[in-house]
Amino acid sequence: MSNTPLKGLRVVELARILAGPWTGQTLADLGAEVIKVEAPEGDDTRRWGPPFIDREGGKVAAYFHAANRGKRSVVADFRTPEGQQKVRDLLKDADILIENFKVGGLAKYGLDYASLSAEFPALIYCSITGFGQDGPYKHRAGYDYIIQGMSGLMSITGPSEGEPHRVGVAVTDLFTGVYASTAVLAAVHARHQSGKGAHLDLSLMDCAVSVMANQAMNYLATGTPPGRTGNVHPNLVPYQVFECSDGHIIIATGNDGQYQRLCGLLGREDLMRHPDYLDNASRVANRVALMEELGAVTVGWSKADLLAACEAKGVPAGPINTMDEVFADPQVQARGMELDLGAHKGVRSPFVIDGQRCASDLPAPELGEADN
């Protein structure tokens, strides 16, 4: 690892599946020492395959490798006094604990915040749950798919007809992991002044509602819930998928100048001056008619030619890549997003500090390898 700004911080991770492990992996990529404490059977996602990655320690699901790079694994059975003491021993020189058990789930083992904070007053204890430490749903389990539905995300995702769609990755878990990492570092900073730890309460539901961003504000400003608009932007036109002769691309104009340049390169200068399309508000009001006019032209272009024309004229546009195309993209390659971890590949975290990329070069651990 070439850049380790969090070197010296020690994290004990009592977390499974994705949101908690994503927090731990984020901190590990920034240089923290992360010890993943697993039950004797290991994190559930070790078995969430196929596909599997075959290493000397056996086959482990690719899913597990996606969220556990750069950690060490120890085994502790919380149901036993020996397992509980093992966790306490790990905490003696730890700064941060990450857990994603149900509310109150660790109290019976004496590993909840109230029990540990008395013994370790400087410990930053990060709890990640589906719905938070209070409220009528606090005892419910949190599942990304369900949270995507409850938070409103699915109500705006997918075509206007048919069933709502989820996002193709577990975004509420991932956003919660990123928010939790931010909260952890804020608590570390605060501890420099106070000397005291903190209990951080991160909820998948809270994070999912928060990242509704402009769509949430659209509702709060109007009182009208936004609906599903497929591949079009609710506030900008033209800003969507366009059909070409050999597939589809995205064109995303963010201002009048970009729109006018798009009309020019498509040979539709008349649409620049048309009173129905002079500004963005007018284009939003007349979206359907304008898209019919522009779409009738783009369908005659190849993807490559239209993308090249947009690039030359300063019109934001891009392809819709499959994963093989993503990792073959020269920009992705130049930024080093594909990691070589020896036995297999990985995906780098996006941190670049002073020109140096922050990513652990250690693969996800074998179960209990740090016990040996």
Active site residues: 173
SS3 218: helix
Question: What is the distance between the alpha carbons of residues 130 and 119, in angstroms, rounded to a whole number?
Answer: 27
Of the candidates 203, 14, 33, the residue with the CA atom closest to the CA atom of residue 113: 14
- Strand residues in 78-178 grouped as ranges (E): 96-99, 124-129
Question: What is the distance between the alpha carbons of residues 250 and 237, in angstroms, rounded to a whole number?
Answer: 12
Of the candidates 64, 19, 67, 28, the residue with the CA atom closest to the CA atom of residue 207: 19
Angle at 133 between CA 131 and CA 137, to 5 degrees: 40
Q: Are 4 and 358 in contact (CB under 8 A)?
A: yes
Q: What is the DSSP letter of 163?
A: S
Angle at 131 between CA 130 and CA 133, to 5 degrees: 115
- Consecutive H or E run containing 260: helix 256-265
CA 334 to chain centre: 22
| Contacts for 134 with CB less than 8 Å, ≥ 6 apart | none
